[in-house]
Amino acid sequence: MEELLLTSIDDEVRSECRELLAYIYGRIGEKEKVLAIAEKCDDISRSKESILAHAVFDNDKYMYGQKRFVELLAHFTWSFIYTAEYTQDKEIINETYNITINLFKFIFSDGNYGLYNDNLKTLYNNYAWRLTAQNKSDEAFEALENAYGHAKAFDIYIRELREKGVMQYTSPLVNLTEDDINNISRVELLPLLLDALKDENSENRKLENDPRYAALIKIIEADIAE
């Protein structure tokens, strides 16, 4: 991959190589190599989405503005969550999850979350871990049920997208954006959620003696079997 990065003249290939190499180096503790790769990358203000949003002046500027907006939303979400978790303050962490979840509800106001069901599934699942660690079982189960709901909605959406090829969002803040199956490589989420619930190292396993936990697993298994 390092040789491909040095020899390729395709900007997209080089960008993907940088991303993958940085991740690999980071996982093995080669921080200096990660920093060296990052120095050669553009910042977020020079991303494709930002350039199109700033430099197109016909009616498409609104479409590109929305595309940049949803791209930034994903970056903001996890930066916000990780920053809150760094504080180790339970109140700040809980409020951050609630604010972020409600932000998604506001942006996708008609309930058509599309691919962003993935973000909400992960948000709710991670929030459930936090609530379980705080011995808030009822709230944790509610979060897990929401994670399940968004995982199922995502899987239904991705199957429909495979059939139609392209699907457009409908909420006012994102109604100029769409998903194209040719640009998407996503696996279905219910099997991943099931694996997470059965993971012996998961914080949520503390809930397994509650009959609601086993019931949720059976529901997910039934959905997967359909």
| Amino acid code (one letter) for 67 | K
In whole angstroms, give the CA distance from residue 60 to residue 72.
Answer: 18
First to last CA, the chain: 40
Boundaries of every domain in the chain: 64-225
Six token digits for residue 63: 């479409």
Express each pLDDT in 179-226 by its tens digit.
999 888 778 999 999 999 988 888 878 888 889 999 999 999 999 998
In whole angstroms, give the CA distance from residue 150 to residue 128.
Answer: 14
Would you call 135 exposed, middle or buried from its count of C-beta atoms within 10 A (0-12, 13-18, 19+)? exposed
Express each pLDDT in 134-188 by its tens digit.
999 999 999 999 999 999 999 999 999 999 999 999 999 999 999 999 888 778 9
DSSP 180: E
Compute φ and ψ for 170, nearest 5 degrees: -125, -10
